Amino acid sequence: MKKYIITDEIYHQGFIMIVNCSEKQFNEHLKKKYNLKTDLLKADGKFLVIERTNKKTKEYECRSFLWLQKFDWTIQGQCILVHELQHLCFNHLTTIGIKHEDSTDEAYSYYIAYLLEKCCKALKNLEKKPKKVKRKIKKKK
């Protein structure tokens, strides 16, 4: 399971992207961290929002998640990502009062492209293997 915090400098509606994580692992994470049980219906991906009051701080919290069971750079993998980003885009923009209509269609398109670029940059790091660091050991005299 890999988690990425995706920040949104435009509308300040960031989200957590979780990839290469089984449905069972994702449900366990949500239950442990947020005391939430969800049914993903054998999905390949899912967008969901968790709204709650923090029991300790009594503050309202809202978290957006984009979950991809298995991500790869195939056409199918990219289609699942874009599909879930569309749900996320509609949620974020309607939350801040930008309804989807003819006059806002371009804003929605640009926002999806912006989010896709942010996600792809994060996912590129998924492929990179950490470099091995060679250490020189000094011999004691």
- Whether pTM > 0.85 for this model: the answer is no
With beta carbons less than 8 A apart as the criterion, state whether 40 and 87 touch.
no
User: In this predicted model, which residue has the larger pLDDT, 125 or 115?
Assistant: 115
| Residue 136 resides in a domain | no
| Residue 81 resides in a domain | yes
Q: Domain count for the chain, please give it.
A: 1
| Residue 76 resides in a domain | yes
Q: Token match 């939350």: residue?
A: 95
| Residue 131 resides in a domain | no
| Residue 133 resides in a domain | no
- Output the pLDDT for position 64: 93
| Residue 7 resides in a domain | yes
Where does the chain have alpha helices with state H? 23-34, 75-95, 105-127
Mean pLDDT to the nearest integer, 75-94? 95
Mean pLDDT to the nearest integer, 3-23? 93
| Boundaries of domain holding 16 | 2-126
| Residue 90 resides in a domain | yes
